[in-house]
Amino acid sequence: MAKRNKGIPTALLAVAVAVAAYWYWSPLLVVHQMKEAVRAHDVAAFNSHVDFPALRENMKDDIAGKPSDDVLSGFGRLLGGVVVEALVRPEAVMFVLEHGDFAKKYSERQKERERGEEPASGEAKPKWVTEREGANRYIVRNDKVALVFVRNGFADWKLSELRL
């Protein structure tokens, strides 16, 4: 009877550790799923990891500035908004990520080197670095772009910002 009672807390601890590990590493799983969706040209799978309204708003803020009471600023935001609405579509975002270094497999990079498409000697391939901003924001970046993911639920993440 005593052995059985010791097994229950151990099992509960193992479950708690597994849930915490999944919660902590869930953004890496989403980034991997996005890469695979881009490689397979699977728009539906890609869309499930992107918050397009938030992405558009953040792009509008980057292009035309934050909303204000100034008439000229409002006009610039309107024009910037039209451009963003036209360009921030699933296919366009996938195209940018596909033709960047985000979704390339190691074998594709190796083929480029074999064909002589290696970058100039001083120019290295972008290195992707991950970082957290608090518990609900995860950033994947290199020297050119940063992909900002925001927690959506317990362990789901959505791309909500591109920092150029």
Q: Which tens digit of pLDDT belongs to each residue from 37-52?
A: 988 889 999 999 999 9
Q: Which residue from 143, 138, 145 is spatially nearest to 49, judged by alpha carbons? A: 138
Instruction: Pick the more confident residue, 9 or 107.
Output: 9
Are 131 and 139 spatial neighbours (Cβ–Cβ below 8 Å)? yes
Geometric angle at alpha carbon 9, from 5 and 14, rounded to 5°: 140
Per-residue pLDDT averaged across 104-108, rounded? Answer: 59
Amino acid letter for position 141 = R
Q: What is the pTM of this model?
A: 0.74
Quick one: three-class SS letters along 9-39? HHHHHHHHHHHHHHHHHHHHHHHHHHHHHHH
**pLDDT tens digits along 142-152:** 887 889 999 99
Percent of all residues in the chain with a pLDDT value above 70, rounded to a whole number: 70
pLDDT of amino acid 1: 47
Instruction: Please compute the mean of the pLDDT values over residues 88-105 and round it to a whole number.
Output: 77
d(C-alpha 102, C-alpha 95), whole Å: 11
Q: What is the pLDDT of residue 159?
A: 95
Q: What is the mean pLDDT of residues 151-162?
A: 92
Residue with the larger pLDDT of the pair 141 and 87:
141
Q: How many Å apart are CA 54 and CA 152, to the nearest integer? A: 12
